[in-house]
Structure 1
Amino acid sequence: MELLRTEPVLEVVEHAYDVEVPTAAWLESIRRAAESAFEDHVAVQAYTFDVTPEGRFRVNDIASEPFWAELLVRAHTQADRSTIRSIYLGGAVRNVRQILAGRQDDAGYRECVRSGIQEITLSLGMDPGGRGCALVFLQREAKRLSRGTRQALERISAHLASARRLRGGLDAGSSSDQLLSEADAVLTGDGTLLHAERDARDPDAQRALREAARRMDRARCRGQGASPDEALGLWRALVDGRWSLIERFESDGRRVLVARQNPPRARKHRALSEQEQKVVALLALGHSVKLCAYELGRAESTTSEIARSALRKLGLSSRAELLEMHGALMGAEAQPQARSAPCNGD
């Protein structure tokens, strides 16, 4: 599976932050944009889910052709919990065939093979608490992802996680007026600060917000002809580990960016600072330091220092040891909360 064009990739991210539309329409718009951005797939699915450290899994809402949606439910229902853990708790981009190398007798995977699917590539936008949004590509043949495609899918996963978390914190059908009234800051696309309150009054925070607004604008302007790596690299998932920037249009047609608090939910640990808790929780999901920095909107060097400090305080010497602690580091809300289709563990 390879990347096609930059513009549809950016459309995936743009649609992810369209928080005013119903969930079904939201997922369908993400799915369609991804369908145009990537090739070599039979079908594309977008769905929300909940997963626990024990491997219990539920799918909530899904955008997919009916046949493939039914396959999704059957495969997850039959999959072993260890398979679910390996897929959903091992990183942001997952290739199922590669994960199951040597144990492709898993009942869930066999169900996919019987339907002509040899490989499933997932871009997993998941909060440390186990609640997420998946963008999934079903493929007839197993092909290694290029470095550029893998990195694009990782960055998309960061935005999916941020957007899912953002939607969960808003009332259904939230209006622009509500978003503006609850904003910490409002900016123009060129970074001009129109309004700031609470944490956004801090001068350093304002500098970070202004720079993020300008980067986001450059990413979208450069979409024509820019590589996905360049465009997605400019548009990070959060600002200073705290804010999501949401595009809105005022009644007079003016475009503004609304900064809303939307940090990842991490389990509190007395030995760690708030920043360390966030980084540790993301690392425990199998994310690299580089991806953690992108998810939080911080410099990679800063994120690396925070990670080293956190590991030292926890008495750990490597990220591998951290991964073994994943269950203890997931948020307290990590329980399946699906309304519709339970897939296993019930």
Structure 2
Amino acid sequence: MTDLDPTRLLVPLDLGAVKASNRVFMAPLTRMRAAQPGALASDLSVEYYRQRASAGLLISEGTQISAEGQGYADTPGISTPEQVRAWRRVTDAVHAEGGLIAAQLWHTGRVNHESLHDGELPVSASALPVRVRTSLKDADGAVIRANAPTPRALETEEIPRLVEDYRRATAAAREAGFDLVEVHAAHGYLLHQFLAATCNVRTDAYGGSLENRARLVLEVVDACISEWGSDRVAIRLSPQGSFNGLADDDGPEETLHVISRLAERDLAYLHISEPDWAGGPALPEEYRRRLRVAYPGTLVAAGSYDAQKAVRLIEAGLIDAAAFGRSFIANPDLPVRLATRAPLNEPVPATFYGGGAEGYIDYPVL
């Protein structure tokens, strides 16, 4: 295979209202280090994001739009004034380094636990048993895994309140100094639960046909747009693979339907999460071509990417930028390392979730 020029990754890219300085993005990464009480972005988080500000775009860890949306221990929120102020310290630090940062808006739905909500059950599209675990912390602060309970189905009359939560979170992200918001509709979380027929057996306007199952995703996107404009709003989808107990053979076609509707909205970008990052098969080339036809706007992809894969797909016109996860955890200066073929630090999985500075802000730069 021909060796491709990695400096191609340093070409700027328009992202709606902003311009990325390069095409090496940092994928959203749950790190479970929010300060308590209050689910606040911490002092360590300020440094963590500041160190990685050379990314073309930093996409924040999943940030719950409401207390109801939290499904893991020690993840940050963006629904209270204190949370907004905490995030403002992060965005100010990123901007001082010349970087851009998007807030990923998150509601975990049934990937959740009643202990996080004073015994209240999680919500989902339907009240179906789920084989999935979430991450909590024990009395000593160690991360433990716990089975998620069978959720309750959101009532039809609750849907407008949920959509409003996304709009409010968008307003909060703008106040906190973020440059964009990314709606998390992937990986088996709430919006994905509505989209997938395997966990949505509703009989109202949000269930049944594909058009109905896609309704909530589109209503949420439109609510975010109404608050900040389409050029400040993005979305993440995962068309293939099994995530958080959600396996859906119709996922590729469902995704194509959704993105054909999203293409009408002129978003800042569409972010596709590919299944190979979690041990699934690589996204087929033929399907990549179908994605590009359905969505001619800015397309970002994340998966098991290295510099050569990213450049190859950018040169082929199949993506516009690549988002990197674990390699960005271990390499705060990843764009320059990839562009100069410098060696990469190896990530330490034992420090991915929870803890303090170790494995969070202590990886060396060149």
| TM range, smaller chain | under 0.3
TM-score normalized by structure 1?
0.28
TM-score normalized by structure 2?
0.27
Hey, which of these two has a bigger chunk of helix by percent? Answer: 1
Structure number with higher relative contact order (C-alpha < 8 Å, ≥ 6 residues apart): 1
